Chain A
Amino acid sequence: MKVLVPVKRVVDYNVKVRVKSDQSGVDIANVKMSMNPFDEIAVEEATRLKEKGVVTEVVAVSCGVAQCQETLRTAMAIGADRGALVQTDAELQPLAVAKLLKALVDKEQPQLVILGKQAIDDDANQTGQMLAALLDWPQATFASKVEVSGDTVTVTREVDGGLETVALKLPAIITTDLRLNEPRYVTLPNIMKAKKKTLDVVTPEDLGVDVAPRLKTLKVSEPPARSAGIMVPDVATLVDKLKNEAKVV
């Protein structure tokens, strides 16, 4: 069984981004970029399924600028067998990415696509579900446990109030939540080996997909700042402030 794992290059999760003064967006020039953390979990899960012998090939794919190749190399260092980049400088929104991924799925014919539940830059949480809809495949979002047996995949999902388990007929779409696994560290020998793996580059035009953005961003602004708080010396003062100043207890 083949697995496709889409990965996204995003601003590293430790970076506190700044809004540009002209409100056209956030400033990501010279900022550290990394693989989206949920996508690392997706690559790790696919690799573990391969190590268990359930999966024969793991293909990592990414959509975006040329530098996304670095992200794909990281995926291959974790365990993906090869990579594919849909290269474009255009702004890509989730619907466009889902369409590009559908084109790749049509070409590669995987039985399973594992994505992260959301990217930490646009915080959209849409692409996996959209891809499932376009392919008319079943979906299991926010996965914390995945078990494949025969032509069924059983997934435990993190939902409000607890956990829920669903069974999907393959082929299917899964999106990962934080607690699905702990991604491994990539080792130097694996980074070296990853450089030799195949990485195909195509364009949206090759795939016949229109990636024009559907949502227009009018402006990006700073969130309202909180007024500065005060430090209290002891519990008694804290309680007094809460009762008499903030009046919340």
Chain B
Amino acid sequence: MTILVIAEHDNAQLKGATLNTIAAAAKLGGDVHVLVAGSGAKAAADQAAQAAGVAKVLLADGPALAEGLAENVAAQVLAIAGNYSHILFPATAAGKNVAPRVAAKLDVAQISDILSVESADTFTRPIYAGNAIATVQSADAVKVVTVRTTAFDPVAAQGGAAAVEALDAVADSGKSSFVGREVAKSDRPELAGATVVVSGGRGLGSAENFKILDPLADKLGAALGASRAAVDAGYAPNDWQVGQTGKIVAPQLYVAVGISGAIQHLAGMKDSKVIVAINKDAEAPIFGVADYGLVADLFQAVPELVQAL
């Protein structure tokens, strides 16, 4: 049994989500190979080779793979899929984009967003916004899986010494092309991997008021998040959204400020170790999951909290 993990990277840097996915692969038992498909991605492949538990890194380097277009990356995975019993992707925007394309071409079901590995063919996954956990068994010859990264502790980034083997890169499909990218600049830790997250909701009232969370996030070394209501109202950028259809986070500490706690939001953060809620409505559902709840006006409580920390 050999397992293939599809690396997430930006050619220069291997993304943390890859290490969590390797950890899920290690639970299956068997050799773990990592595919780095990119352009000028030798650096990312070298980092993957150092990750603990990796037996081999396959580097497919070609212009068609530069921007991670689904058509080309899926073709690259399919070129070597025959050698593997399991193909694992991180359940990130990039992984979710490509994995089902690979599964359909192989005529197998895909298992989305697994929370645990029960055995080589049985996995658990959340359904209905995390309100139920399904245990599913696959009878397919190849298991194509996406891994919820917050459910698996990352393997060590150092200590491995896998060989890097070059593969022939696929040609461009000619059906899609990359136009551009707008990356939100931030000095804060990445939301999905942060150990502390401070999130704001509709209660903040405006994009201007949202800045009240900055000093708190600075003090805690936290990433900033937001509820869908805050994102839709334009208080915070799209990629800050935490919830069923946004990012899934599981930090050590999650501070929810002015967030009521709709089930769609809870789906994205209820696996956090400690949850703190600050809301002036004592009836808000967020208090149902909070370890520590404070009923107060956030405009007073947040500056006070910054002072007290």
Binding site for B on A (CB under 8 A): 11, 13, 16-17, 19, 26, 38, 93-95, 98, 117-118, 120-134, 137-142, 144, 154, 157-169, 172, 177-179, 213-223, 226, 229-232, 234-236, 238-239, 241-242, 246, 248-249
Contacts and interface: CB of A to CB of B under 8 A. Distances in A.
Contacts of A220: 127, 132-135
Closest 3 CB pairs of A and B: A129-B100, A214-B109, A130-B104
Nearest to A124: B112
B85 interface: no
A171 to B, nearest CB: 10
A150 to B, nearest CB: 14
B108 A214 contact: yes
| Contact count band on B | 35 or more
Contacts of B179: 154, 165-167
B293 A138 contact: no
A247 to B, nearest CB: 9
Contact of A138 (B175, B181, B238, B275): B175
B187 interface: no
Interface in B127-142: 127-140
16 contacts: A118-B245, A129-B100, A134-B104, A158-B93, A163-B181, A167-B176, A172-B175, A221-B132, A229-B289, A229-B290, A231-B294, A232-B292, A235-B294, A238-B294, A246-B274, A249-B220
Nearest to A219: B135
B158 to A, nearest CB: 24
A239 B128 contact: no
Interface in B109-149: 109-113, 122, 126-140
Given A123-B127, A141-B96, A241-B292, A218 B137 contact: yes
B289 A226 contact: yes
Interface in B267-309: 270, 273-276, 287, 289-296, 301, 304-305, 308-309
A249 B253 contact: yes
Contacts of B74: 133
B182 interface: yes
Contacts of A142: 93, 97
Interface of B: 67, 69-71, 74, 92-94, 96-105, 107-113, 122, 126-140, 173-184, 190, 192, 196, 220, 228, 231-232, 237-239, 244-245, 247, 252-253, 263-264, 270, 273-276, 287, 289-296, 301, 304-305, 308-309
A220 B128 CA distance: 11
A91 B238 CA distance: 34
Given A118-B245, A219-B135, A95 B182 contact: no
Contact of B295 (A221, A231, A248): A231
Contacts of A141: 70, 96-97
Contacts of B263: 16
Contacts of A217: 134-137
Contact of B71 (A11, A138, A157, A241): A138
A16 B267 CA distance: 12
A43 to B, nearest CB: 18
A172 B71 CA distance: 12
Chain A interface, DSSP helix/strand/loop, else mixed = mixed
Contact of A179 (B100, B131, B196, B238): B238
Contacts of A95: 103-104, 107-110
A159 B287 CA distance: 31
A239 B253 CA distance: 13
Interface core residue of B176, B180, B270 (most chain A CB under 10 Å) = B176
A163 B183 CA distance: 6
Contacts of A242: 253, 274, 276, 292
Contact of B103 (A26, A130, A140, A231): A130
Contacts of B177: 166-167
Contacts of B273: 246, 248
A172 to B, nearest CB: 8
Nearest to A161: B183
Given A130-B103, A218-B122, A162 B182 contact: yes
Contacts of A117: 245
Nearest to B174: A169
A122 B220 CA distance: 36
A133 B101 contact: yes
Contact of B291 (A215, A239, A246): A246
A232 B294 contact: yes
A151 to B, nearest CB: 11
B47 to A, nearest CB: 18
